[in-house]
Structure 1
């Protein structure tokens, strides 16, 4: 089982990567750094919460795990 702290750290790192990518995509799509930044912030916030919920749900599912 994965600890909550590990899930949070994974989510923070993943979202930092996603934020960087989304900022670039938003800038390229709109030509505006501020609009691209807002798009990235909204996306990152929603993605962070969704990812944490997803990870915690899967942490409680034993299907597909091999217990040694």
Structure 2
């Protein structure tokens, strides 16, 4: 008999999305600053990246939650 694992709660997916994006955005801001030497540009790039990648990650995570492979 195959055991059914519970699906991940949407709140957990949101928390993971936000925490991972903060780490990723700090990395992007640092790299952008090292390349441009301008904090304003680095933070602008980081802000855009924060929003777009958070949305992409959230939907990616939710889609993977529906895939049984590897569970």
Give the unaligned 5+ runs of structure 1.
none
1:48 to 51, 54, 64: 54
TM-score by length of structure 2 reads: 0.86
Aligned pair partner of 2:41 in 10, 35, 42: 35
Structure with max Cα Rg? 2
- Which runs of at least 4 in structure 1 moved beyond 3 Å after TM superposition? none
Q: What secondary structure is seen at the aligned counterpart in 1 of 2:70?
A: coil
Give 1:15's match in structure 2, choosing from 14, 21, 25: 21
- 1:46 is displaced (CA, Å) by 1.0
Between the aligned partners of 2:33 and 2:70, the Cα distance in structure 1 is 40
Indicate the RMSD between aligned Cα atoms, in angstroms. Answer: 0.7
